[in-house]
A and B are shown apart, each in its own frame.
Chain A
Amino acid sequence: AQSVTQPDIHITVSEGASLELRCNYSYGATPYLFWYVQSPGQGLQLLLKYFSGDTLVQGIKGFEAEFKRSQSSFNLRKPSVHWSDAAEYFCAVGGIAGGTSYGKLTFGQGTILTVHP
């Protein structure tokens, strides 16, 4: 069964500092990988996704993520955090085409990001 681990429940950074949120997954092959952001009272918004190809993917709001097959990781990064980035971030995996879990997302527990001025 596929699973996602986000080791950090809560991260605090200062505005302008760099950010890295960790994500590790377990899956029989290379799944589709996603990062979502959820602000209070809001639904989930897709930041970026990886299906194949270049292992460094760019997303919205200045975020990027790097897929590392050897580490089964898909860490999210941002070079300079803004106060408006404070939210909860979820890593997710999706089953590949042809598999029984195709089209279904499995989410990690989430990482809450607090930004200090």
Chain B
Amino acid sequence: ETGVTQSPTHLIKTRGQQVTLRCSSQSGHNTVSWYQQALGQGPQFIFQYYREEENGRGNFPPRFSGLQFPNYSSELNVNALELDDSALYLCASSIGHSPYEQYFGPGTRLTVT
């Protein structure tokens, strides 16, 4: 149990729709990273937020966006969903000065039909 929670657990959306995934970090963790894990693949870094500002982004288009809130929660928003967006989305929380002490949540399984 890492203390990092994600909601919902599963989600089914239609191509073209928008989706919001939520993550609740451990208390005091001011950094959150989001990863996309397609079936049979390793997680891919989407972006990272530190103290509510984006702090690095992977090779994902702008329709992937995020927010981080002062209460250690965060959101991943995906607009104009595509079939290839079907994946497990993981968030990981950490403290800024120890970025590799990352605690992963169980993930949200998104299916786009």
Chain A residues in the interface with B (C-beta under 8 A): 4, 6, 32, 34, 41-46, 49, 90, 92, 94, 100-110
Contacts and interface: CB of A to CB of B under 8 A. Distances in A.
Interface residues of B, number: 25
B42 A103 contact: no
B105 A43 contact: yes
Q: Is the interface of B mostly helix, strand, loop or mixed?
A: strand
Contact of B90 (A44, A49, A106, A110): A44
B31 A90 contact: no
Given A92-B42, A103-B94, 11 more contacts: A6-B42, A43-B90, A43-B106, A44-B43, A49-B100, A103-B55, A104-B45, A105-B35, A105-B45, A107-B43, A109-B40
Contacts, number: 60
Nearest to B56: A104
Contacts of A100: 56
A103 B100 contact: yes
A109 B43 CA distance: 8
